[in-house]
Structure 1
Amino acid sequence: MAQDDIALIGLAVMGQNLILNMNDHGFVICAFNRTVSKVDDFLANEAKGTKVVGAQSLKEMVSKLKKPWRIILLVKAIQAVDDFIKKLVPLDTTRYFQDLKAKGILFVGSGVSGGEDGAPYGPSLMPGGNKEAWPYIKTIFQGIAAKVGTGEPCCGWVEEKAGHFVKMVHNGIEYGDMRLICEAYHLMRDVLGMEQSEMAQAFEEWNKMEVDSFLTEITANILKFQDNNGKYLLPKISDRAGQKGTGNWSAISTLEYGIPVALIGEAVFARCLSSLKDERIQASKKLMGPQKTQFEGDKKSFLEDIQKALYASKIISYAQGFMLLRQAAIEFGWTLNYGGITLMWRGSCIIRSVFLEKIKDAFDQNPELQNLLLDNFFKSAVENCQASWQWVVSTGVQAGIPMPCFTTALSFYNGYRHEMLPANLIQAKQDYFGAHTYELLANA
């Protein structure tokens, strides 16, 4: 008689850790992997002594599952998912319809965030898809998810088809957050000339302030870390950053839906530029920039300005992310609970921060809020940071420091707050050379 509560296909690090998490919460899991030897290795090592069982084939796997089958695919996007679905569908002999719903398969696409630590101890989960599936998986998903506040799970039903989109936006914001911190670090290092220990201390102090977050915390830890020779590791690490698909997808979506989420785009492009290491080495020998001079201002004051610029830019990053979610909801007819989404991001996920509580408050107070910048708290926060933000950007530009995300965040803010932008000249030019016509102002 089938006894297993759920099966998971895909035994990479995240898959293994999620299985161990579910086991710790009392669920019986069947593990399967396309390379079957990984199942045996997992059971003999990481899962040794647990109730986790393995399967040598998909047929064996489903034979061990309670009805209705609950199967998690934790494999590479698109092709691998399609391949496994095609293999699983024939095993359900009572249904032979064209799509998954017609075959009786309730498909759920769930974003998962938290990294290797989040998977075993409680990830952030963002499920969406066929809502009929939610009662069957709710106990498991909310049981293993991270908990915040008085025990609220960082997991709730998102909306049909929206689970992975919400995760994509989360990852886009993550790209922006990571780049903003890099730019703050660059200013500390090359403008203020701070030592590594000083920078670590600064980020530790910032982690008790408005920019308190997981990424701020680990930045301090990374800056402090020394190798076996007692030397700081960070300066030895290559400055060539790779990228996965989620940042790209977020940037592409902004163009597709016509939403100016420029900060995520610039974060992606900054990684692309970093990958041109060999070209940059050659360019550094030929291309001139401002002469390096010693900073002559008040270093402590400017460090505070950098923190404020980081805070204001983070607000823009999240504001743009929710703009993208709102536009997608319009495009697809989704009803998204933005406060609920924020709750899912408050624990375990990479962008978790105290900052998110304020976003949740904003959407709880006004679910129809068009933009975070129009909320009183965030309006005041950006206004209080504005002078420092402008000073940091102008100082960095004069020093020749690349700050694509600080500058695009400030440009977005300045553009968003302008009633009249110079795009009227674009309309006029288009009409001049192409007879495209133009739209007149209502009061013209």
Structure 2
Amino acid sequence: MMRECDIAVYGLGVMGSSLAKNMISHGFSVAVYSKDPGERQRFEAEQGHYHICSTVKEMLDQLKSPRCIFLMITAGEPVDSVLEELEWYLKPGDVVLDGGNSYYRDTKRRYEWSLKRNICYLGVGVSGGEQGALHGPSMMAGGSREGWEKTRHILQTIAAHVGEKPCCAYIGSDGAGHYVKMVHNGIEYGILQLLAEAWYFMKHSLHMTEKEITESFISWKNGKLDSYLVEISIRVLQKKDSDGTFLVDKILDVAGQKGTGKWTVLEGIERGVYLPTIYEAVSARNFSAKKELRSAGKEILHGSGQKVEMENPGKVIGDALLLGILLCYSQGLELIVKAAGEEQWEIDPEKLIAVWKNGCIIRSRLLEEIGQVHVTEKHPLLLDPVFSCQEELEPALRQINEKAVLSGIALPGMASALHYYDYYRMAQMPVNFIQALRDCFGAHTYQRVDVPGAFHTRWEE
């Protein structure tokens, strides 16, 4: 058989088929395979009979050497299962790329597996959804440097671009690519929560009309809040159901999640990085599942329900949102920098931010300014002079939290963003009181501000 294909795509779900079509549209010869005959038939109906393979061996037999296989399948056990299947056919120097949302520790394990077999393994974070995969995603590659060099031409060609620069880069060894994609998703969780809270506050606390709310979002889109998520928020706000009413009001207030947000939060806890807004975003989705309890609580629990007013709400809420989103980026980058140091990944935050500037879900105008900051563990984004605008935005974040408390609605994303901001302003925290209590009941000792060493006090004396 003639070996003519540049790359294979294994998995023809929404993302896999879109990525394969993207490669084909850029002139690459692509072999495609799926275990699901329905997916193969659907791809053939859309694309024609284009190197559609019915077995793994047939797929591999069509590839040029070294063979490159891009897995676009469900994360977790399915990836291990496919690797076991491929192992029978793979040769030293072949490249396997995992483009799913795999847990970075799984990717590290698979990378070690590949080294023993002289196979090049890459964990590639792919962001942009179906349209991004089709027209140009943002991609974060980690793992084998050799594998990256063998596939970078294809990856950087099909990626989104900013001018001539591709939004695709090698991030670091073993699990680095999937790690930064995980944190990207955590930041996304936080921003989505803040956008939802801004909408909810305008609708239920200020009782603004749909037209007024939409106009506010449009004004944000035309300013510093210009981003993909604000852009599609406008689309969501304007979409009407078949009966002429707004569709968003008919959607059940129970949110799904795939797990990357939870992984990000757990990483923050394990590495000692404060991620309050991302944590609250994950927790809010968890709590949204308690619909019946929330409905019961509405009838039983009492609290403030004052009517509140706000002068120039579009400007105030927009400023609060801008600072909140900036703080989400700050939290995520703080975690990435900490992990890079502990895992010995040579991640360049500026290069990573450049990858996020187009194609990905969290792309925004803010990243132009964030990209100017050299973020390190001792120099977080929040403290850089580039963001002296915080002084102007901070009163707005306080005001929306104050009004929310008075009107009796929960805005955990906005509140946590303010907590993050204020914690960075607190040279003195109340944990000295906690240390005293811990020493009192458990003899855990404490340190003093005036004398070095560990101390224990007999508090009962």
Q: What TM-score range do you get, normalising by the shorter chain? A: over 0.9
Q: Helix, strand or coil: the match of 2:195?
A: helix
Please state how far the C-alpha of 1:99 moved relative to its aligned partner. 2.7
| Residue equivalent to 2:299 | 285
| Residue equivalent to 2:5 | 4
| Residue equivalent to 2:443 | 435
In structure 2, list runs of 5 or more residues that go unmatched: 94-111, 453-461
Q: How many angstroms apart in 2 are the aligned matches of 1:296 and 1:36?
A: 58
- Matched to 1:101, the amino acid is L
Please state how far the C-alpha of 1:77 moved relative to its aligned partner. 1.2
CA deviation profile, 1:249-300 (whole Å, cap 9, x unmatched): 111111111111111110000111111111111111111122342x3453x2
Between the two proteins, what is the percent identity of the paired residues?
Answer: 38
Q: How many angstroms apart in 2 are the aligned matches of 1:141 and 1:369?
A: 33
Distance 1:422 1:368, change over 3 A: closer
- Matched to 1:206, the amino acid is W
- Matched to 1:46, the amino acid is E
Q: Helix, strand or coil: the match of 2:298?
A: helix
The partner residue of 1:79 within 47, 71, 77 is 77
| Residue equivalent to 1:196 | 210
Q: How many angstroms apart in 2 are the aligned matches of 1:211 and 1:288?
A: 36
Q: How many angstroms apart in 1 are the aligned matches of 2:85 and 2:353?
A: 36
Counterpart check, 1:89 vs 2:87: yes
Counterpart check, 1:155 vs 2:153: no
| Residue equivalent to 1:126 | 140
The partner residue of 1:55 within 53, 56, 77 is 53
The answer to whether the Cα contact below 8 Å between 2:92 and 2:119 also exists between their aligned partners in 1 is no
CA deviation profile, 1:29-49 (whole Å, cap 9, x unmatched): 111112234223311x12127
The answer to whether the Cα contact below 8 Å between 2:31 and 2:52 also exists between their aligned partners in 1 is yes
Q: How many angstroms apart in 1 are the aligned matches of 2:23 and 2:144?
A: 22
Q: Which TM-score applies when normalising by structure 1? A: 0.94
Please state how far the C-alpha of 1:198 moved relative to its aligned partner. 1.3
| Residue equivalent to 1:18 | 19
Of the structure 1 ranges 169-178 and 216-225, higher mean CA displacement relative to structure 2 is found in 216-225
- Matched to 1:252, the amino acid is L
Query: Which residues of 2 match residues 168-247 of structure 1 at below 5 A?
Result: 168-247=182-261
| Residue equivalent to 1:387 | 395
- Matched to 1:152, the amino acid is K
Counterpart check, 1:371 vs 2:380: yes
- Matched to 2:166, the amino acid is P
The answer to whether the Cα contact below 8 Å between 2:334 and 2:377 also exists between their aligned partners in 1 is no
Counterpart check, 1:317 vs 2:331: no
| Residue equivalent to 1:305 | 316
Q: How many angstroms apart in 2 are the aligned matches of 1:443 and 1:367?
A: 30
Please state how far the C-alpha of 1:368 moved relative to its aligned partner. 7.1
- Matched to 2:412, the amino acid is P
Q: Helix, strand or coil: the match of 1:107?
A: strand
Distance 1:217 1:284, change over 3 A: same
Counterpart check, 1:402 vs 2:410: yes
The answer to whether the Cα contact below 8 Å between 2:202 and 2:213 also exists between their aligned partners in 1 is yes
The answer to whether the Cα contact below 8 Å between 1:197 and 1:223 also exists between their aligned partners in 2 is no
- Matched to 2:7, the amino acid is I
- Matched to 2:33, the amino acid is F
The answer to whether the Cα contact below 8 Å between 1:290 and 1:399 also exists between their aligned partners in 2 is yes
The partner residue of 2:284 within 257, 267, 270 is 270
Distance 1:26 1:367, change over 3 A: farther
The answer to whether the Cα contact below 8 Å between 1:124 and 1:344 also exists between their aligned partners in 2 is yes
The answer to whether the Cα contact below 8 Å between 1:32 and 1:58 also exists between their aligned partners in 2 is yes
The partner residue of 1:343 within 354, 368, 392 is 354
CA deviation profile, 1:319-361 (whole Å, cap 9, x unmatched): 1101100111111011111011111111011111010111111
| Residue equivalent to 1:356 | 367
The answer to whether the Cα contact below 8 Å between 2:126 and 2:181 also exists between their aligned partners in 1 is yes
In structure 1, list runs of 5 or more residues that go unmatched: none
Query: Which residues of 2 match residues 25-64 of structure 1 at below 5 A?
Result: 25-43=26-44, 45-48=45-48, 52-64=50-62
Query: Which residues of 2 match residues 416-435 of structure 1 at below 5 A?
Result: 416-435=424-443
- Matched to 1:120, the amino acid is L
Please state how far the C-alpha of 1:443 moved relative to its aligned partner. 6.5
| Residue equivalent to 1:101 | 115
Q: How many angstroms apart in 2 are the aligned matches of 1:8 and 1:189?
A: 45
Distance 1:376 1:36, change over 3 A: same
- Matched to 2:371, the amino acid is K
CA deviation profile, 1:74-103 (whole Å, cap 9, x unmatched): 1111211111111101113679xx931221
The answer to whether the Cα contact below 8 Å between 1:199 and 1:220 also exists between their aligned partners in 2 is no
Distance 1:229 1:424, change over 3 A: same
Of the structure 1 ranges 14-23 and 306-315, higher mean CA displacement relative to structure 2 is found in 306-315
Q: How many angstroms apart in 1 are the aligned matches of 2:427 and 2:219?
A: 38
Q: Helix, strand or coil: the match of 2:389?
A: helix
Q: Helix, strand or coil: the match of 2:178?
A: helix
Please state how far the C-alpha of 1:442 moved relative to its aligned partner. 5.3
The partner residue of 2:345 within 310, 314, 334 is 334
- Matched to 1:307, the amino acid is G
The answer to whether the Cα contact below 8 Å between 1:186 and 1:401 also exists between their aligned partners in 2 is no
Q: What is the total number of aligned residue pairs between the two structures?
A: 432
Q: How many angstroms apart in 1 are the aligned matches of 2:92 and 2:216?
A: 63
